[in-house]
Amino acid sequence: MLSQLGVKLALGLLRLFALLPYGFVARLGDGLGWLLYQIPSGRKRVVHINLKLCFPEWSDERREDVAQKHFRHAIRSYLERSFQWFASAEKLEKLVQVDSEIDLDDPDMPPTLLLGFHFVGIEAGSIFINHALHRQCGALYQPMSNPELEAVAKAARGRFGSDMASRADSARIVLRWLRERKPVMLGADMDYGMRNSTFVPFFGVPTCTLTAVGRFAKVGHAQVVPIIGEVLPHYKGYRLRVFKPWDNYPTGDDDVDARRMNAFLEEQIPKMPEQYYWVHKRFKTRPPGQPGFY
């Protein structure tokens, strides 16, 4: 955990980086990621375990290539918080392309859950969707261990008109937002433990998966619109991809609805496997009686 001095130094560097050319900061993060990948670490081990579980058919060479590229992307994403948190709206507009299958300016948009996925561009996509929608949104965030860092992150993520709420206090607030026709941004593809979760396959591995998305959609009579923040090649910025709402969702069956989310990811991840957040211990919680992977 960062000390208070470390947090202040990190935030100061991010504010400084926001003043520099994006390409320079992106390349700096890429190089730092390459350097850190050369050092044995627990997170590097997690990446390899996850890739081997999800893509057992890959050769060792293929797995090594994707693991290194992902590590570079992951470290780079932290430096790029500088632009995502502190750059002006005008600068972000130049960095983010929006590719939407729905009308983001629709004044009659029904209650909507914007389902974000943990690709390395999720921060850029989650922040910019509020700007692209031109309306007040709601968003959930995961509390941080450092109060100062959490306050800065919360302000940055909500700076384009988004109300922010802690994931721990989410249910009542999300339903109120949906009744008010505020689009609600949330992410559900991480391992948060067994509470409000079920085990369904993810690349063939029984995976602890949140059931909250289907439940919110059912109670709030909301459509579910997947969004993905993609990092563009050649240090050109990001693409925010907004998909069509899922048909026949929710079904009312928690397992079926959770499986739908994982199946969507199984379609999208192979298109850019180096960008999914493999440093996360996605398979940490195991079914009773099964040994851990990490």
- With 70 as the cut, is the pLDDT of residue 105 above it? yes
Domain residue ranges of the chain, discontinuous segments joined by + = 4-275
Helix H or strand E segment including 11? helix 4-17
C-alpha of 3 from chain center: 25
Give the number of other Cβ atoms within 10 Å of residue 100's Cβ. 17
157-168 pLDDT, tens digit per residue, is: 988 888 998 887
pLDDT above 70 covers a percentage of the chain that reads: 99
Mean residue pLDDT of the chain comes to 94
Q: What is the mean pLDDT of residues 187-201?
A: 94
Q: What's the residue count for the chain?
A: 294
Residue written as token pair 């989650």: 126
Q: What is the mean pLDDT of residues 11-34?
A: 96
Is pLDDT larger for residue 1 or for residue 262? 262
- 247 class by beta-carbon count within 10 Å (0-12 exposed, 13-18 middle, 19+ buried): exposed
Q: What is the mean pLDDT of residues 247-275?
A: 97
* 217/111 Cα distance (integer angstroms): 9
- With 70 as the cut, is the pLDDT of residue 1 above it? no
- With 90 as the cut, is the pLDDT of residue 42 above it? yes
206-250 pLDDT, tens digit per residue, is: 999 999 999 999 999 999 999 999 999 999 999 999 999 999 999
- With 70 as the cut, is the pLDDT of residue 144 above it? yes
Q: Give Dmax (Cα) for the chain.
A: 53
pLDDT band, residue 2 (cuts 50/70/90): low
- With 90 as the cut, is the pLDDT of residue 117 above it? yes
Classify 247 in phi/psi space as left (phi over 0), alpha (psi -120 to 50) or beta. beta
Q: What is the mean pLDDT of residues 12-18?
A: 95
Q: What is the mean pLDDT of residues 20-42?
A: 97
Is pLDDT larger for residue 134 or for residue 278? 278
pTM comes to: 0.94
Most confident of the following: 8-17, 167-176, 257-266: 257-266
Give the number of other Cβ atoms within 10 Å of residue 152's Cβ. 20
Determine the pLDDT at residue 146. 86
